[in-house]
Structure 1
């Protein structure tokens, strides 16, 4: 796993690059976020869709809710980048829409878009 630390508008963001699945449940997510926060001093993260176990995107498993609740509870912010159009679940599409309307978790298509969202979360779109 490689972590690139970016600083934009005096906000530090950890961009994670890895070929591995990093998050399989709430515990692995919290371990990852805590490690990055400790080692890099960042509480905002950019992860790729491939970093999450596939069952994360099946809302019935509860993994997405568990992971994202940790982000909110620990006052962190997360952008997940990928192609979410591959999922046909209406409930997942609604969930992604709701998350993107908030201020803590975003599902986006590019790293550039993710960094912008994480550094300008108060801006109205």
Structure 2
């Protein structure tokens, strides 16, 4: 496994090369995925800086509204990522969410191939490889 760190202001991208694949682990101290436009901007930035279309984001890098399915933000963002063939793993603790709809959504995503909700970086890497 080979890694490279790219710092872009408040965003830090860890470019991970593993088994012939490249994955970008994006970290930020504040939410960077706040709306559809920021999601598209993130795709463009990561692609330009790393050429990666497999992304890992910490849950804290995403606004809380994403996890309230009534806002439709999650669906809109995910649709853009699927359209641009970008796969995403979100790392964090999701046990605090009590919404049955969100739990069902997470379950379905984790059985798909484009979006994963995982507990740690290692699980994210396994899913994206």
| TM-score, scaled relative to structure 2 | 0.90
> What are structure 1's unaligned runs of at least 5 residues?
120-125
Structure 2 residue runs of 5 or longer lacking an equivalent are 1-10
Q: Which runs of 4+ in 1 moved over 6 A?
A: none
Question: Is residue 41 of structure 2 the alignment partner of residue 31 of structure 1?
Answer: yes
Give the aligned partner of residue 123 of structure 1.
none
* Structure 2 residue 96 is matched with structure 1 residue 86: yes
- In the alignment, the residues of structure 1 paired with residue 21 and residue 89 of structure 2 have an alpha-carbon distance, to the nearest angstrom, of 14
Say which SS state the counterpart of residue 95 (structure 2) adopts. helix
User: By how many angstroms is 1:18 displaced?
Assistant: 1.2
Aligned-residue Cα RMSD (Å) equals 0.6
Query: Is 1:6 the counterpart of 2:16 in the alignment?
Result: yes
Higher helix share: 1
Q: 1:62 aligns with which of 51, 68, 72?
A: 72
Q: How many corresponding residue pairs?
A: 119
TM-score (norm. length: structure 1): 0.93
Instruction: Find the aligned partners of 2:27 and 2:95 in 1 and give their Cα distance.
Output: 22
Q: Could you give the per-residue CA deviations for residues 4-49 of structure 1, whole angstroms, max 9, x where no partner exists?
A: 1001111100001210100111111110111101111100000010
